[in-house]
Chain A
Amino acid sequence: MPGSDLLAVVLLGVCLLQTAGAQNAGFVKSPMSETKLTGDTFELYCDVVGNPTPEIQWWYAEVNRADSFKQLWDGARKRRVSMNTAYGANGVSVLRITRLTLEDSGTYECRASNDPRRNDLRQNPAITWIRAQATITVLQKPQINGTREVILQTNDTSPVTLQCNLTDDNSSFSQSYWMKNGEEIPGTRQNNKSTEYKISKPRADESGQYQCVFSFSNRPSANLTIEVKAAPDITGHKRSENLNEGQTALMYCKSVGYPHPSWQWKKLNNGAPMEIPNITGRCFIESKDNYTELKIINLQIDEDPGVYQCNALNSIGEKSMTTILRVRSHLAPLWPFLGVLAEIIILVIIIVIYEKRKKPDEVPDDDEPAGPMKTNSTNNHKDKNLRQRNTN
């Protein structure tokens, strides 16, 4: 019947269209194998493209048990596993496991599929799902013994020694060195399993986060973090600031010391610190780690002058420094210039009187020698006479 033929053709066309628009899932980025130490964290990335957007799952198989994969979920292994998956144009998933143990070693698999029949139990997953694997090896972190925390005292000048001792009989140890605040300290590399770092002069700027790092030939390096703390010391600040009315005052304090202090600005009133009155909203404070800034815009001569104090406070101690702010009024240059004008007027009057008074005595000597070439004798006599007249 022509009607059913037409319907069959239309249905076929729709089906074809559907299958033509669909695109099989494929990996843009697959997870990579890594070697980690116990206590560390690792992350695996998986990026899949396809139309419709594929679904991503994570599966895990223990070492040498490649036949029995188990699925992972967010919060597994006592909440050490976290999975973040986003489905947009692509499907992206990040698997993150913290506080690794030796049992976390194994094969991790990222599976993706956009096949509508993928969850059908009658289907073989090997056909409907695409898979990418990564092997994670977790090695025992070497035990490092050492000083944990040191507090530098300002009045104590004896040198401080940081110690690290590697207790690990693994023979792949190669080098050890020290780092401070994330940067390697030059000249500390050596081949000893037991290493020391001496701080000869315990000052505030010697404090920070120190790490002794032991590197190995076939596995990632291990380190121990030593916190060297000290009370903050303020190294940079302006002792005084002189500005005109209406200008912007910028007072700052810089400190050294670890841990980073918390800053506070106060205004001294007869020697007693008190909060900065910010009624007019012209004060702005910005603090960041070892630096703080107090900005006052549109200075007013009756409110703002005074002594300002920046205070740095951390768990060990505190330090403060003061800055004197002076505000000059708009009329400040007026007074000296009144004096200058007065003296100039007096000078001009005196000049006029003096020069005019001399004039009747002087004969204007206008015929100064025009040049050595042109005068003749008669002129000279006249000049001579003029010259003599001048003497009276």
Chain B
Amino acid sequence: MDLRKCCRYSLLDFLLTLFGIGAFLFDIGTDLWAAAEFYLVGDYYWFGTVLFLTFTSSLVVQLFSWFWFQYDSQLENFSEVAANEGLFWRRGILRLLHFFHLGFLFRYLTVMVQGFLVWWRERKESGYIVYLTHDLSMLRLFETFTESTPQLVFILYTIISRNKVEVYQYVSITASFLSVAWMVLDYHRSLRSFLPEKNNLGCISSLVYFLWNLLLITSRIVAVAVFTSVLPPYVGLHFLLLWASLLFWAGIQKTDFMDSPAGEWLYRAMVALILYFSWFNVAKGRTLGRSVIYHTFIAVDSGILLVTWWFYRDPTSTDAYVMPVMVILPFLYLMGIMFKVLYYWKFHPPVWDPVTEAEQDVIDDLIGFRSLPATEIPQTMINKRMYTLANKFFFSSQKPQHHRVNGSSSNTTV
């Protein structure tokens, strides 16, 4: 495996990071603006809800960012690399930044600055940037699920209860749905960037991956939103019950992602939250069974939510769209499942199997990959977290036969 290839940071990546910063700031801005609007109109509960969601999501993201900085600082050669690459690293300042919820933005800015330096000085090896981008991609995924998805549910709830929708809200909701699915796709591509080129998602594979996530997440969010519209205070209870059982599941899968127990449980809590909305694979081994259990459970749960809405809704205001929703939502879910099956059957890029590679070099490279001699470290720095996850997905989920030409659906991974 060519390390240098995996760690290239191109102009495109730089532009995407720029766009990411803009999108993130725009998101925060619109959230605060929406909260202010609610306050001015007098909807104090809704104002409080929006503020609460924004604040907790920011808090969780900053916590993760801080934990990761802690872990990185405990790595052996980190300070040398940091000094080498001219990274800004002063513990006290970082702690202050994170306290004021600026840690996430700081990571973005660091990536941008480093990326600019790479482009300007035309450095080929930019391992550290890719390292940071991986972290960023995961943080963005977390941020999406702690903030965007509950916001979406909330916006849909306000639309349903007011029974009118503005044009700009159509646009904003569509953009939100697309961005959630896009984030999941982006995270998956980030995972795959460890692998050789041919194992990365091609265009069509990406499209199919994007589509099934979009369909599943959309149907799930709409189901939660309509339930909220009939029993607003109870959606919190529903979330807590499901989240607790999903947390139990994450715990029983014995995830091992963070370096400290506190961090690990935070990670499991995060995973449980993501699972409430969308599938997220965190453990090694055959995921087909788990996937089946999960999707059946979510289907049953969404069904209960929809049926509750059907019985407790207000006929006069909802009659216009109840039948389309009741019919289309299960249909979307089924389509999502079908696309997922299609993806794993036809479009899943081959999982790289290092053991079957004929060249000995590759195996050596593999060994080299996992035990970089100290001299190599300053040049390429691999993000342990991404690497661990990628390792779990792609290296340990193998069938008895070692030959794998094109991934078959029985070897499902994320």
Contact = CB atoms under 8 A, between A and B. Distances in A.
Given A337-B234, A343-B304, A369 B75 contact: no
Contact of B256 (A358, A368, A374, A384): A368
B316 A239 contact: yes
Contacts of A206: none
B304 A351 contact: no
Contacts of B392: 368
Q: Most chain-B CB neighbours within 10 Å: which of A332, A352, A377?
A: A332
Interface in B368-401: 369-372, 374, 377, 382, 384, 387-388, 391-392, 395-396, 398-400
A380 B367 CA distance: 7
A344 B241 contact: yes
A388 B317 CA distance: 60
Nearest to B304: A339
Contacts of B305: 336
A328 B285 CA distance: 48
Q: Most chain-B CB neighbours within 10 Å: which of A328, A350, A351?
A: A351
A355 interface: yes
B359 interface: no
Given A373-B77, A373-B372, A387-B396, A341 B252 contact: no
Contacts of B241: 337, 340-341, 344
B289 to A, nearest CB: 6
Q: Most chain-A CB neighbours within 10 Å: which of B237, B252, B308, B370?
A: B370
A142 to B, nearest CB: 51
Contact of B384 (A336, A372, A380, A390): A372
Interface in A106-162: none
A384 B402 CA distance: 13
A114 B316 CA distance: 76
A371 B245 contact: no
A379 interface: yes
Contacts of B253: 355
Contacts of A84: none
A18 interface: no
Contacts of B355: 384, 387-388
Given A240-B314, A333-B234, A344-B242, A369 B293 contact: no
Given A326-B314, A387-B396, A372 B382 contact: yes
Given A351-B293, A372-B370, A362 B315 contact: no
Contacts of A364: 254
Nearest to B245: A344
A328 B400 contact: no
Interface string A316-337: 0000000010101000110111
A369 B398 contact: no
B301 A340 contact: yes
Interface size class, chain B: 35 or more
A359 to B, nearest CB: 10
Nearest to A381: B367
B399 A391 contact: yes
Contacts of A352: 252
B76 interface: yes
A347 interface: yes
Contact of A375 (B256, B301, B315, B370): B370
A344 B248 CA distance: 11
Contacts of A358: 285
Nearest to B305: A336
B68 to A, nearest CB: 13
A335 B304 CA distance: 10
B293 A347 contact: yes
Given A340-B301, A368-B256, A372-B371, A391 B398 contact: yes
A340 B285 CA distance: 29
A278 interface: no
A348 interface: yes
Contacts of B402: 391
Contacts of B284: 365, 390
Contact of B387 (A239, A324, A343, A369): A369
Contacts of A383: 370
Interface string B227-263: 1000100100110011001001100111010000000
A371 B384 contact: yes
A105 to B, nearest CB: 57
B231 A390 contact: no
B304 A347 contact: no
B396 to A, nearest CB: 5
Nearest to A366: B256
Nearest to A328: B312
A111 to B, nearest CB: 59
Given A373-B75, A373-B377, A337 B237 contact: yes
A171 to B, nearest CB: 55
A328 to B, nearest CB: 7
B100 interface: no
B396 A372 contact: no
B300 interface: yes
B321 to A, nearest CB: 16
Contact of B238 (A340, A375, A390): A340
A372 B387 contact: yes
Contact of A343 (B297, B372, B398): B297
B290 interface: yes
Given A343-B297, A365-B396, A371 B75 contact: yes
A372 B369 contact: yes
A1 to B, nearest CB: 90
A68 interface: no
Nearest to B380: A372
A347 B293 CA distance: 8
A194 B414 CA distance: 85
Contacts of B300: 343
Contacts of A344: 241-242, 245
A328 B308 CA distance: 13
Contacts of B75: 371, 373
6 contacts: A344-B245, A351-B293, A368-B388, A373-B377, A375-B370, A390-B398
Pick the 4 closest A-B CB pairs, nearest first: A240-B316, A336-B308, A375-B371, A391-B398
Interface of A: 239-240, 242, 324, 326, 328, 332-333, 335-337, 339-341, 343-344, 347-348, 350-352, 354-355, 358, 362, 364-366, 368-369, 371-377, 379-380, 383-384, 387-388, 390-392
Given A336-B227, A388-B355, 17 more contacts: A240-B317, A242-B314, A332-B231, A333-B234, A337-B237, A343-B301, A350-B293, A351-B252, A365-B396, A368-B392, A369-B391, A372-B372, A372-B384, A373-B75, A373-B76, A373-B371, A377-B367
